[in-house]
Structure 1
Amino acid sequence: MDGAAKPEMGTTARTLVGIRPNAWEVDGKTADISRPQLPPRLCTLPTETKRLTLDLAKSIAIVVDMQNEFIHADGHSAQMGADVSRAREPIAPLVRLLPALRAADVPILWLCTGYRPDLRDVSACLAHVYSSGTRSGLGDVLPRRTDRTLIKGSWGAALVDELAAVASPDDARVDKVQMSGFWGTELEALLRNAGRTTLLFAGINADQCVLTTLQDASFLGFDCVLLRDCTATTSPDFCMRAAVYNVSELFGFVTSSDALLPALDAAVARPA
């Protein structure tokens, strides 16, 4: 998400302080705080409600909770009885889409769940989500496992293998402790500093962590786009339908990777 340094201004070498476009240029005597914007790179694509034009220079993809704990057969969700085959549905479209986003200079941010080893960042209400008193919960060691459930740095908190294989060291990662990625994290600061105001959402669960993060983003003034085929849920079908409906009606736009990919290709091919 780092921006490249601007050319020198005048005859005095200046230092870039911050991340473009929200950076200053300074030297020993002057400071330029005008923060010139990056050149726009427009991209137009269909959504389920309107034809949408967005600026790739202001866009970022946020992929939510595509982690072993929620997707792998040995993860907590599967071992507690969830049909994780549905949670795996976004993998193939994301494997196709992520390289195209990078080719268009759209950064990727992995928004993941992960807790402290001492679980002091877990409220009683949140702990109850994972353990109602009759099943294994956060920090427990599950059958066929040696790591503790959803602890930062654990196997369960890692990206599922197929997406780890296409992740880049240049990608950002934010670990969250609530359903929404904006509570108690650096997510908003990363987005503001990088000048990314259009957020492309993917991941799981569509009706839970994806939706709550998207809602908070909308409340904070970000422009939100849900990639429908790149998100899924293990909840009943009506939950997915309700999430998509509410995004379209209240919080932003809904489209697909099939619609976005040709729009990205056209934007990349367009002369600067």
Structure 2
Amino acid sequence: MHSDERIPGTKLDTTPGDAPGFGPAAGNRWQLQDGRLSLVRTPPAPRPLALPAQPESLVIDLARTALVVVDMQNDFCHPEGWFGQKGLDVQAARRPIPVLQALLPAWRRAGSPLVWCNWGIRADRRNLGPTVQFKGKRTAEGVGYGERSPIDHGPSLVQGSWGAALVEELAAEPGDILAHKHRLSGFWDSELDSVLRNAGITTLLFAGINTDRCVFSTLQDAAFLGYDCVLLEDACSTSSPDYVTDGVLYLVRLLHGFTATAADLGAALTDLPSQPD
């Protein structure tokens, strides 16, 4: 995720006051004042929010929390996307859409970062090893990563293609952040960790697809890196059998963090005052 791929207007770019500032976030910024460069950062004031969760209820800090939505893209969720044209049922992939449509307005009003963590591969696939390429194609006749399906919407999951774009029901808005990935985990060989750390983010809420694949892989890596992790159960989905999701929820609660619901989060956000732009 390079600087020109950030969506303009993100609150992470805000410079407090009129002094020239240097840094990616209001809480991680040098100031040039009266001919001197101040390295004193001004940390954001805590904004606690009570959130019912398992195995323990939580209080999260909205000033240091980001919502990470994984892989809600045309190639996975649209009937004419890469998966749909393979004959895979996209209904499971579409289940988080109404949940997120209900949650995101309240989340944006709260002023905390919203990160879209999406597949966005190189067109030449030079960093996709044999295992990744085989699992995406399976047979000589199959359509793999970066290849075109019979209903041609462009190469599958290539950055900038129709298939790699968000589904239209969940269009990005100014202030959102886009992070491309090319493995199940959004943290592997990407800029996601750097962007979050420079913004002072310590807690991550996870939504998207598939619960047991990209969402879980990204959450695990986040936990390994030291982030607080909360999986929003009703804002995730998978086409795998129910027992697989049960296993993921068990492991998240046991080892990696906590589980909560988008419904409870939305309810908790309802009474918050909107953050200034």
Partner residue, 2:82:
76
Matched, 1:198 2:203: yes
Partner residue, 1:148:
155
Matched, 1:16 2:21: yes
Contact 1:87 1:204 in 2 (8 A): yes
Partner residue, 1:252:
257
Contact 2:186 2:192 in 1 (8 A): yes
Return the TM-score normalized by structure 1. Answer: 0.91
- In the aligned structure 2, how far is the partner of 1:236 from the partner of 1:213? 20
The number of residue pairs the alignment matches comes to 263
Contact 1:202 1:210 in 2 (8 A): yes
Matched, 1:221 2:231: no
Matched, 1:207 2:212: yes
Partner residue, 1:26:
32
- Where do 1:21-100 residues align within 5 Å? 21-27=27-33, 29-100=35-106
Contact 2:69 2:116 in 1 (8 A): yes
CA deviation after TM superposition for structure 1 residue 224, in Å: 0.8
CA deviation after TM superposition for structure 1 residue 109, in Å: 0.8
1:205 alignment partner AA: N
- In the aligned structure 1, how far is the partner of 2:263 from the partner of 2:233? 10
Return the TM-score normalized by structure 2. Answer: 0.90
Which sections of structure 2, spanning at least 5 residues, go unmatched? 1-10
Q: Identify the match of residue 188 of structure 2 among 183, 186, 192.
A: 183
CA RMSD of aligned residues (A): 1.7
Partner residue, 1:2:
12
SS at match of 1:183: coil
1:174-230 per-residue CA deviation (whole Å, 9 max, x = no partner) reads 111111111121101110111111111100011111111111111111111111111
SS at match of 1:87: helix
CA deviation after TM superposition for structure 1 residue 62, in Å: 0.6
1:67 alignment partner AA: Q
1:6 alignment partner AA: P
1:10-50 per-residue CA deviation (whole Å, 9 max, x = no partner) reads xxxx4221022111122364232232210111100111221
Q: Percent sequence identity over matched residues?
A: 42
